[in-house]
Chains A and B, each alone.
Chain A
Amino acid sequence: MTIFIIVIFTIIFHYLGFLKDIENFFWGILAPASSYIYDISLTEGEEKITKPFRNLDDLKTSYVELYYEVEQVPVLEAKMQELKDQNEELRKQLKFQNENAYKYVNGTIIGKTTETVGNTVIIDIGSVHGVKEGNPVFVGEGVFIGKISRVENERSIVRLLNDSQSKVAATVQNGERSIGVVEGGYGISINMNLIPQNEKIAVGDVIITSGLEENIPRGLIIGMIESTEKEPYKPFQKAVLRSAVKLDNIHLISVITEI
């Protein structure tokens, strides 16, 4: 009975915000570790280098030292590659930010959510950085990846494009500027629905955000049409999209806080 009361009160206190300090304290401990583990999960295995060979005994000590030094090279190379990628990504984001007058906050993905209900990731920026629910999240030169679905003080959850609850107003970059709604397909696909039947869309057409939705500017790239589905008896046609980036391999993001 005691545990029942404690669980109920913990849940109530959470929603009333009384546990924020405790949660932030533990988050402060767990977030760096989560970020480190997430980085490891993104890093591909490195090839192990071959062992240099020396056959003189008096050079044994030097050999061992050299061996350990050489062993560090792939690690350093991997770190350098990671920094190079991050630098390139930041340059792209900076270029996009300089070209547009929106207000942004830059952040890092520090982990995935551990339950399999949706396709969401955790980022290290929250309400103290000006992030609000519904804000669009992008990478590189304006590639839209999802929207903020939950905000805490110093972290937020991003609902990725391919999540089943994800919906965003979009436009096809064809002659007719067809509009529709891009929706996630349970983590495995991205579809654009509600495209008027009489409009021409083709494989390869680029899809961008339409700007018809509050807080989401026009022109963020969503992806490209991979296939189309058109039934003569239906009022709308549908397109299956390919995201412009690999949604499961993202590290640096930006959130548009004001347009």
Chain B
Amino acid sequence: MRLLRNIIFFLIGIIGLTLANISFSYILPFPFQTMNFPFVSFVLIILWRESGIVVWFAFFSYFLIELFVDIPFGILLFSSTFAILFTFWLYQNVFTNKSWYAAMILGAVSIFLFRTLYVGFLIFAMLFGQVDPSWSNILTNILWELVLTTGIIGIIYPFIIPFSHKKKMYIQ
């Protein structure tokens, strides 16, 4: 029963995240539409729950987000899953500090890694004639995405820190 409940919550979570990502992209004006809502959620989940489940959450969410993109399948899925996997490792081994600036750096590193992999794969796809992107647009959007996503993480983080596992352990 508990497993079924968890699966239902997980499905609702990934569908909700995909729809939120679409909504931000369609409705918000530039540059706010460049904010990466899924990554804000993933980084905050890492800081709050401190569980590796977030990597699966990223994998399944981006599997759905891939339905709404026109670049070759796999680029977003691979880049996002590995960026979150590495972010989780960084959180456990490097950014162990619970300060808000550590959370922001963690968010910035995860977006940077995600987009580095993404751009790498895009260049690869471009060599095979699959895409012909406007690099100036892409770089502008990535810079805005980095600033806004990191900023939002910094704003929300102080509200979730009292509920995080590590903080609870320190209090006890």
Residues of A within 8 A of B (CB): 3-4, 6-7, 10-11, 14-15, 23, 26-27, 29-30, 33-34, 37-38, 40-41, 111-118, 120, 122, 149-150, 157, 159, 164-165, 186-187
10 contacts between A and B (CB under 8 A): A3-B55, A3-B56, A11-B74, A27-B67, A34-B68, A37-B26, A111-B68, A113-B69, A116-B137, A117-B70
The docked-state distance in angstroms from the alpha carbon of A159 to that of B27 is: 21
The docked-state distance in angstroms from the alpha carbon of A112 to that of B137 is: 17
The docked-state distance in angstroms from the alpha carbon of A15 to that of B66 is: 13
Q: In whole Å, how far is B36's beta carbon from the nearest beta carbon of chain A?
A: 10
Q: Select B59's contact among A7, A159, A165, beta carbons within 8 Å.
A: A7
Chain B residues whose CB sits within 8 angstroms of the CB of A165 once the complex forms: 131-132
Q: State whether A118 and B18 are in contact (beta carbons under 8 Å apart), knowing that A7-B78, A112-B26 are contacts in the complex.
A: no
User: Would you call B134 and A111 a contact (CB within 8 A)?
Assistant: no
Q: In this assembly, does B101 line the interface, its C-beta being within 8 Å of a C-beta of chain A? A: no
Q: State whether A15 and B19 are in contact (beta carbons under 8 Å apart), knowing that A30-B67, A164-B132 are contacts in the complex.
A: no
B130-145: CB near A (< 8 Å → 1, else 0) gives 0111101110010000
> In B48-89, which residues have CB < 8 Å from any A CB?
55-56, 59, 63-65, 67-71, 73-74, 76-78, 81-82, 85
Chain B residues whose CB sits within 8 angstroms of the CB of A29 once the complex forms: 15
Top-7 shortest CB links A-B: A11-B74, A186-B134, A41-B26, A120-B70, A113-B70, A114-B25, A117-B133
Number of A-B contacts (CB under 8 A): 101
Which of B22, B67, B69, B136 is the most central at the interface, judged by chain A CB atoms within 10 Å of its CB? Answer: B67
User: Would you call A118 and B133 a contact (CB within 8 A)?
Assistant: yes
The docked-state distance in angstroms from the alpha carbon of A159 to that of B67 is: 16
User: Would you call A26 and B67 a contact (CB within 8 A)?
Assistant: yes
- The closest CB in chain A to the CB of B81 belongs to A7
> In B12-47, which residues have CB < 8 Å from any A CB?
15, 18-19, 21-23, 25-27, 34
Q: Select A14's contact among B26, B74, B141, beta carbons within 8 Å.
A: B74
Q: Select B68's contact among A11, A114, A187, beta carbons within 8 Å.
A: A114
